[in-house]
Amino acid sequence: MVRMEQSVFYEKLCQILSKDQILCNEPMSRHTTFRVGGQADFYLTPRTEQVAHILALCKKEQVPCQIVGNGSNLLVGDLGIRGVVLAFAKQAGAVRTEGNCVKAQAGALLSKAAGAAWKAGLGGLEFAAGIPGSVGGAVVMNAGAYGGECKDVLRQVTALTQDGELVTLSNEELDLSYRHSCIPARGLIVLEAEFALQQKPQEEILALMEDLKSRRIEKQPLEYPSAGSTFKRPQGNFAGKLIMDAGLRGVSVGGAMVSEKHCGFVINTGGATAADVLALIHKVQEQVFAHSGVRLETEVRCMGEFA
């Protein structure tokens, strides 16, 4: 956006949000676990009840609006994002338990929801304790790990349509499958998720969470910035094994590298750009296909403008 348009739009945003909820020309490298990405024109952290008003303003002013969670599955281009980035964070991150259910707003970390379940003696979310994403993002992509995924315990979602209408969708209506839901195709914005769990001794819940944590530390390159598993699991195979068999372990482009610890991870070894990461992803896809005939699909979502 040009400076004059940006100034006028900023004043209109101030009628909806407080100034500390509006960041201008904000580096997205501060808000993605890859630690790369150019500036967003506007980075907003609204409360749930403010979202519909922001959408209406963006629609009226024809300003593009992108939704992000914790940035743990996101690759933002080096040239940044034009328009608005609407980020669900602490202002929309409440978690509460009601009976055998955990209800979490979209901005809550999935690990926070898992922690609340443990404290309430509710089992079923243990798999989520080490996933770094937000509840909203996890629901959108049906996140999972170690044999569990959101669809196993998700009861319903409260979402907002692009016209500002509140809707509630059941598990069945969400069309959940491996790393998929109908939410993006329908243009919905998740506001809250409700997980239906079962009573379980706290010590058993904690023991499983600790076991999964130790397995992550042992097998995943958690010491480097990344977006977790870069590629979806191919049917009947494993992305990491296909990448290793194609001779790509430790291969790098600029500051981006295929992890030597787990080949399914592309990591930022320091100073990587989004262009480095994207070029390495494409190189991996090409060489894996040439070696095995398998086309790897990315789990990472690209956003913004790339050089």
Which residues are tagged catalytic?
179, 229, 299
Side-chain-side CA neighbours of 156 within 13 Å: the count stands at 7
102 burial level (CB within 10 Å; 0-12, 13-18, 19+): buried
Q: Are the C-beta atoms of 115 and 89 separated by less than 8 Å?
A: no
Helices (H), 92-155: 110-119, 135-140
Buried b (16+ CB within 10 A) or exposed e, 45-75: bbbbebbbebbebbeeeebebbbbbbbbbbb
Burial class (CB in 10 A: 0-12, 13-18, 19+), 214: exposed
